[in-house]
Structure 1
């Protein structure tokens, strides 16, 4: 019994450490989209189970993709950029001002920095992520962007 109590205490300390590091929200979210800028890759965890891993394109030289932990702010199945020549942004999930995760038809650039700061996905992967966020709720979704 003593060993079990020690393990519970250790797990509690690990949870506290994660919360203090800003990852506490991710631990309680149904959907967690982790974007690794260095690897140009998104991994999606659903109910704690790693479920998807996709190449992405993030900010190219001269632009920035913000890092941090975010929740979806607004979503559009069909969206066109007002800032960048009416470019199509299917399955857009905006997480910070004008920054979004969205589908891109420039699929040959996925896996390399190519955007103005948004996180680009293959349109079918963007549709999958969009559906997950819709079904689980924006409040139960965390977007975690790291280097």
Structure 2
């Protein structure tokens, strides 16, 4: 295990993670999401690690916690709500409600579509990602599906963490409300 991953696991443990249940880490520099832990939210053993790393897109304007910045918030979060468990893949959500519209992967229409599943994040760090003017939940920061799969692996969202519809549906089954989510910005050179 790399020193970096060891530090991440220690930080998650300080936030209450037991190393057995699931935890999510978003690596901003690599534009990847990794699921840690040995059991999912239902107590089932998770698959091999290679199947638990997925490409994502974070904020086009970078990382930060300020309201209306379009940036992806950093730091420790937890899943506060899970929406769309029975929705078909590609279902479009507006204000966390299914619209009935389904978009296919690779759709050419512009827009920050929220599709398939929503994992609504709550910041756990007062004054950083929790509280007035920077609260992740009040900013409506989600991990959610997108039909714009070609943009995954590069910053492209309005602040949320986007995933391929099939990937977010798989992730949704492996986590639960309260699962910790640690979002890391790209490392600065020389660190």
TM-score range, shorter chain: 0.7 to 0.9
Aligned 8 A contact 1:29 1:142 in 2 = no
> Mean alpha-carbon deviation: is it higher for 107-116 or for 21-30?
21-30
Structure 2 match to 1:4: none
Judging by fraction of residues, say which structure has more helix: 1
Deviations, residues 75-119 of structure 1 (Å, cap 9, x unaligned): 111561349x79333210001310000111000000000000000
Any unmatched runs of 5+ in structure 2?
1-5, 40-47, 62-68, 97-110, 123-136, 186-191
SS at match of 2:79: coil
Q: 2:73 aligns with which of 55, 66, 69?
A: 66
- The count of corresponding residues between Structure 1 and Structure 2 is 126
Post-superposition offset of 1:45: 1.6
Which has the greater radius of gyration? 1
Whole-Å separation in 1 of the counterparts to 2:80 and 2:117? 13
Deviation, 1:142, is 1.1
User: 1:76: which partner in 2?
Assistant: 83
Matched, 1:145 2:145: no
Local SS of the residue matching 2:174: helix
Query: What is the CA deviation profile of residues 11-41 of structure 1, one whole-angstrom value per residue up to 9, with x for unaligned ones?
Result: xxx99xx3xx564223446111110111100
Instruction: State the partner residue of 1:34.
Output: 25
CA RMSD of aligned residues (A): 2.9
Q: Which has the higher mean CA deviation after the structures are superposed, 59-68 or 117-126?
A: 59-68
- Describe the SS at the equivalent of 1:138: coil
Instruction: Could you list the structure 1 runs, at least 4 aligned residues long, displaced by more than 6 angstroms after superposition.
Output: none
> Any stretches of 5+ residues in structure 1 without a counterpart?
1-13
> In the alignment, is the contact (CA less than 8 A) between 2:25 and 2:182 conserved in 1?
yes
- TM-score normalized with structure 2 length: 0.57
Contact 2:76 2:181 in 1 (8 A): yes
TM-score, normalised relative to structure 1: 0.73
Residue 115 of structure 2 is aligned to residue 89 of structure 1: yes
